[in-house]
Amino acid sequence: QQQVKQSPQSLIVQKGGISIINCAYENTAFDYFPWYQQFPGKGPALLIAIRPDVSEKKEGRFTISFNKSAKQFSLHIMDSQPGDSATYFCAASPYSGNTGKLIFGQGTTLQVKP
Amino acid sequence: DTEVTQTPKHLVMGMTNKKSLKCEQHMGHRAMYWYKQKAKKPPELMFVYSYEKLSINESVPSRFSPECPNSSLLNLHLHALQPEDSALYLCASSPTHRRQGSGAKNIQYFGAGTRLSVL
């Protein structure tokens, strides 16, 4: 119930291609879905976030698509660049109980080849 | 400035040592967090401080002892650690701990972490 399932575990994309990472959840109490990007030796950095009342959110080359009925959300990275090579974590936060605790997916290691 | 500063960057300690990790933020955030992250795994929440009071302890062993001296500082005191405690320890902060409205006030900003090796 508290899990967020993320796939794929690893992804290799050519420069200029589209990278797609998917996440699924069960707990309908989740209502805030951030994506974090983590480079080796660094802490996670918030990339983009969405709430379930919106089906899509775009910031530059990064887009979150959200399907509330399927309880799935995904990150699309358009025109992927070698500098995007990093580990990406989706997360979910329940409003219920108001704790703000983040439940992380298992992560996807993205490699963008030049 | 959304910077969370952690020191030291690297730490090697023996199982009988006592050491401390330090975290500092000057964003006026009132919630601070300690996470543990193993290689190729997501961060695991350890502790949450809200308004300098311990709010959440995720059943962390007592060899880890958090301390929040003031609203800008968070320490993690380490004693009698085990080799399996070797990991990246991350500190994070957010404006508040409890969710309010859009959730924006709970956005967590992470530091770069302390890479801990226990021999």
Provide the token pair at B60.
């962390």
Tell whether the model's pLDDT for residue A53 goes beyond 70: yes
The verdict on a CB contact (< 8 Å) between B90 and A44 is yes
Inter-chain CB pairs, A–B, below 8 Å: 67
* Whether A33 contacts A90, CB under 8 Å: yes
Rounded mean pLDDT of B30-55? 93
Choose the closest CB to A89 out of B42, B98, B102.
B42
- Rounded CA separation A4/B110 (Å): 20
A105: nearest CA in chain B? B42
Q: What is the mean pLDDT of chain A?
A: 91
* Whether B99 contacts A93, CB under 8 Å: yes
**pLDDT confidence bin for A29, thresholds 50/70/90:** confident
- Rounded CA separation B50/A46 (Å): 21
- Give the side-chain half-sphere CA count within 13 A for B2: 11
Tell whether the model's pLDDT for residue B101 goes beyond 70: no
**pLDDT confidence bin for A51, thresholds 50/70/90:** confident
Contacts with A107 from chain B: Cβ below 8 Å: 40-42
Q: What is the mean pLDDT of chain B?
A: 90
**pLDDT confidence bin for A12, thresholds 50/70/90:** very high
Interface of A with B (CB under 8 A): 31-32, 34, 36, 41-46, 49, 51, 87, 89, 93, 95, 98-102, 104-107, 109
B62 CA: distance to closest CA in chain A (Å): 22
Provide the token pair at A63.
């887009």
Q: Which residues pair with B19 in a beta bridge?
A: B78
Worst-scoring range by mean pLDDT, A23-32, A78-87, A98-107? A98-107
B104 CA: distance to closest CA in chain A (Å): 9
Phi, psi torsion values for B14, nearest 5 degrees: -85, 170
The verdict on a CB contact (< 8 Å) between B110 and A98 is no
**Structure-derived torsion over alpha carbons of residues A47, B29, B113, A104, reported in degrees to the nearest 10:** -50
Rounded mean pLDDT of B101-118? 81
